[in-house]
Structures are given as structure tokens and as C-alpha cells.
Amino acid sequence: MQVLFQRPKALTDAPFHYCPGCTHGIIHRLIAEVIDELGVQGDTIGVAPVGCAVFAYNYFNCDMQEAAHGRAPAVATGIKRAHPENIVFTYQGDGDLAAIGTAETVHAAARSENITVIFVNNAIYGMTGGQMAPTSLVGQVTQTSPYGRKVEMQGYPVKVAEMLSTLEGSAFIKRCSVDSIKNINDTRASIKKAFQCQIDKKGFSLIEVLSTCPTNWGLSPVEALEWLRGNMMPHYPLGTYKDITGGDKK
């Protein structure tokens, strides 16, 4: 019998706890497929965040460390400095990476720490029940911006890929999306390129993935994908923001 579709080896058989329509599961799978394709499962050490993906250490079938909120790039730095030949990646949400962990993120990139960051941007705090994130859009209604995010009160959303691309230390920075088959395939290729960037010791790589949170956006999974396309993509344009590896430019 020919096997057409199966669980990547780099994922355990633990069932995901994610809500229906949430795209975390897709992104987990893409990372695992890349680990399989590169044959680096035995060398990979992942760092899980605090947020919806807090249990990522149960899902990836490789050595894992759970970091405090926002500290994953610092923890990954410690791991990578201890074992420079291992592949080290972090998996972080927008609150974790772009609010409480901004300093750790920026300085890991500035040091050109040879790690890979998978940054899941769904414009909201999911785990705590839908509060305003640093990446929430202007006007976006959340539990802590019940009248919509107002620039006079809460300022502007943070564009992480653009910001990090200005640092000399960043090697490969790209923003992707998992709203369509085409974009999912591109996200997989981009994650693979980011891991390869690390294998080739080129320095800090980050893939920002525009992602949905139907539960906290108060939308059906299909409506959420439409909302991502209609609202997030215009503010967060997809594309390569930095690439010193000699690949495709934006």
C-alpha cells in the first residue's frame, strides 16, 4: 500500500489542543516537515513560548525547552552557545515576541545569533482570552481595546519583520501567511530556507507567519481567513525583508 499522507516524524502523536480553525497546527506541521526534509530531527532543540503554543514541547518530537514569557530568544541563545552545532529554533506568538520579549528578540537579531525564530502573528493574545496585542490593528476590537484600538490611546501596531530587517545582524527575515495553499507552500519553503540559513551559519533568521484566531476574533474559520486577507495583509505585506543568503528578493 502506498502512503500518501502521514504525520511528520518530527511531530509526536499527541493531539493538538488548538481551537477549531486555528492555524497553529498548520505551522507546527510545516516546521516538522522541514525538520524531516533536512534530516535534522536528532540535532534540533526547540524553545516553546508562553501563549497558545505553550505546549509545543509536547508536540515536537525533538529536545525542547519551555521558556518564560518573551524569553525564548535568550534561552535559545544559551542553548546555541552551549551547542553551536545543534539546530535551535524558537516558536513565539505576537505578545511573547513583540511585547514582553521585544528586547530579547531585537538583541538576538542584533547579535546575529545563529538561531531560527518562527513568529506567529495573529494580532491578539489568544491564551488569555483575546486581549490587544502589540500587532493588533488600528480599530481592532479586543477585550482590552473594547472600543477598537485607538492610536491616541494605544499607538500603532508593531511591524516586526520590517523593524528587524533594519538590523545589520539579521540574515533572513520574511513574512508569510497560511491563509491559502499557495501561501502555506511558500511558508514551508521559507521555514526551510531559514533553517538552511542556520545550518550554513549565516546568522539570525525569522519567519513571521500571519495567522488566524477565529475564537478570539469572534469569526468562523473561513471568515477569519477572509479577515486576515482583508485586514492583516494590507498592513503586514508579505515578502522577504532581508536576505543575505543570496536567494529571492522581495
Partner 1 sequence: MDKVLMKGNEAIAEAAIRANCRHFFGYPITPQTEISAYMAKRMPKIGGTFLQAESEIAAINMVYGAAGAGVRAMTSSSSPGISLKMEGLSYIAGADLPCVVVNIVRAGPGLGGIQPAQSDYFQAVKGGGHGDYRVIVVAPASIQEAVDSTINAFDLADKYRMPVMIIGDGMLGQMMEPITFPETAGKALAEKEWATTGTKMTRKPNIINSLYIQPEELEKIIMARQKKYEDIEKSEVKYEAEGLDDAEIVIVAYGTTARIVKAAMALAQKSGIKTGLIRPITLWPFPKDIIYKTAKKAKAIISVEMSTGQMVEDVRLAANGACPVYFYGRTGGAVPQPKAIFEEIRRYA
Query: Contacting partner 1 (CB under 8 A), which of 75, 109, 207, 210?
Result: 75
User: Which residues touch 181 (CB under 8 Å, ≥6 apart)?
Assistant: none
Distance CA 121, CA 98 (A): 9
DSSP H helices, 40-91, are 56-59, 72-82
Closest distance to partner 1 from the beta carbon of 18 (Å): 15
Instruction: Please measure the distance between the N-terminal and C-terminal CA atoms of the chain and give it in whole angstroms.
Output: 42
Which part of the chain contacts partner 1 (CB under 8 A), choosing from 80-88, 126-134, 139-147, 233-241? 80-88
Binding to partner 1 (CB under 8 A) within 19-58 occurs at 41-45, 47, 54-55, 57-58
Is the four-CA dihedral 50, 210, 191, 179 of positive or negative sign? Answer: positive
Residue 81 in the binding site for partner 1 (CB under 8 A): yes
Query: Contacting partner 1 (CB under 8 A), which of 11, 26, 35, 62?
Result: 62
Closest distance to partner 1 from the beta carbon of 117 (Å): 14
- Secondary structure class of 44 (helix, strand, coil): strand
HSE-up of residue 145 (Cα within 13 Å, Cβ side): 28
Closer residue to partner 1 in complex, CB, 60/241: 60
Binding to partner 1 (CB under 8 A) within 90-149 occurs at 103-104, 106-107
Query: Contacting partner 1 (CB under 8 A), which of 67, 120, 132, 238?
Result: 67
The counts of H helices and E strands in the chain are 11, 9
Binding site residues, partner 1, CB under 8 A: 41-45, 47, 54-55, 57-58, 60-68, 71, 74-83, 86-87, 103-104, 106-107
